Structure 1
């Protein structure tokens, strides 16, 4: 799989008669759909998009040019990670990722909604630090505390049960990125194991889930991409080996 992000002027790759997900390698929303596809062991192609210089054809699959978008049939697509993931779970029920209990499904959706405050605080801390307000770190930790209490209350290894489900794959991409905040100088956003033992144990379990392990990136990598984006030159292709091998070394300053 190429890690290269296609951009304005690049051709649309040929269609290979299977599901195709348009994504961005560092996007948590796109990761949600990648994890669901991985968990269900569905064959699919993955096409990465440069969101600063979008190829013209991406708008044929996602009206606003956002990712993820899932091409389920040649030239036909659905977009938005929540819509895509529910579709995948219903279309491919062999590995069900949602509870059969309507109340539990509703509780999962409410948990995701309540966790949104922590996600919002993360975006501000990571990409717009000058706009940080004291209450944002507080809201961030309220989200972590809520999540930890829910894990404790459910008494299972994962939020879904003994195996991770849609609720886990929806929340995880942000937890993965939260670990980069201390590396970006935001120590107040650290997930301290002494305070969040249950949550950090849950996170360790998620890191070892095959669907997650095959796609996850280290906190250092997320921090490096974030720094490049803050500088106004997001390094989308930092993981693409062909791009790395062809980079010319910088001349040393005299």
Structure 2
């Protein structure tokens, strides 16, 4: 479907009979659900929306107007990436993304929770630079250290095992965005290979996962979006369909 973000006054596209995900192209939470849909190879449509000028109909599917929201039947929706992803993994069990061991499942959830501080530091660094403090930088790196240590302990290619699972698809969207911060002059947020050797190897492995590769964006693209948002005019529609795969975006045609 189109990369255009629909806004106030735009009509809701006709329902096509598939699952439909309402998202915003640069939202890490929406990306979590996109990755799960891709990984499980579930047929779906997506509709991108402008979060500053929300179309009226989004509130039918998400009471607060947040994304992602999943239309699982025509006119019926569930919202929040965690709720959506657990629903998808249980509803469509053919490609299971969660461990069967209850303890490992709990450990995955705890790991995701331990990274929330790093995610908050990212948002502050990206969008509220004057509020950035040394303690936030420290919190960010503590999160990275926790993740690297967990990878070392598990001794697997991905956190889930030989193949990525829900924990990997939940964490990845922020790792994707963290790499944009040094391009914005925030060198203290760099993921230095000399310090994070296991983590940087994991990042490169994740970039090549088909579910990720078909949707992720290059650090330069994320940096460009962050800059537009920081100027008060987020450019939701800056992409063409070629600007994916975690590589440098193609130059726009003159």
Structure 2-normalised TM-score?
0.94
Query: Unaligned 5+ residue runs, structure 1?
Result: 242-246, 250-254
Counterpart-to-counterpart distance in 1, 2:120 and 2:232: 20
1:52 aligns with 2:47: no
Shift of 1:109: 0.2
SS at match of 1:158: coil
Query: Unaligned 5+ residue runs, structure 2?
Result: 242-251
Larger Rg: 1
Shift of 1:174: 0.1
Counterpart-to-counterpart distance in 2, 1:209 and 1:198: 17
Matched residue, 2:248: none
RMSD after superposition: 1.1
Counterpart-to-counterpart distance in 2, 1:167 and 1:210: 16
- Contact in 2 for aligned 1:4/1:240 (Cα 8 Å): no
Matched residue, 2:13: 13
Shift of 1:240: 4.1
Matched residue, 1:171: 171
Matched residue, 2:222: 222
Matched residue, 2:193: 193
Matched residue, 1:86: 86
Matched residue, 1:237: 237
Matched residue, 1:244: none
Misfit runs of 4+, over 6 Å? none
Matched residue, 1:157: 157
1:141 aligns with 2:149: no
Counterpart-to-counterpart distance in 1, 2:137 and 2:51: 28
Structure 1-normalised TM-score?
0.94
Counterpart-to-counterpart distance in 2, 1:92 and 1:61: 21
Counterpart-to-counterpart distance in 1, 2:152 and 2:14: 47
Matched residue, 1:182: 182
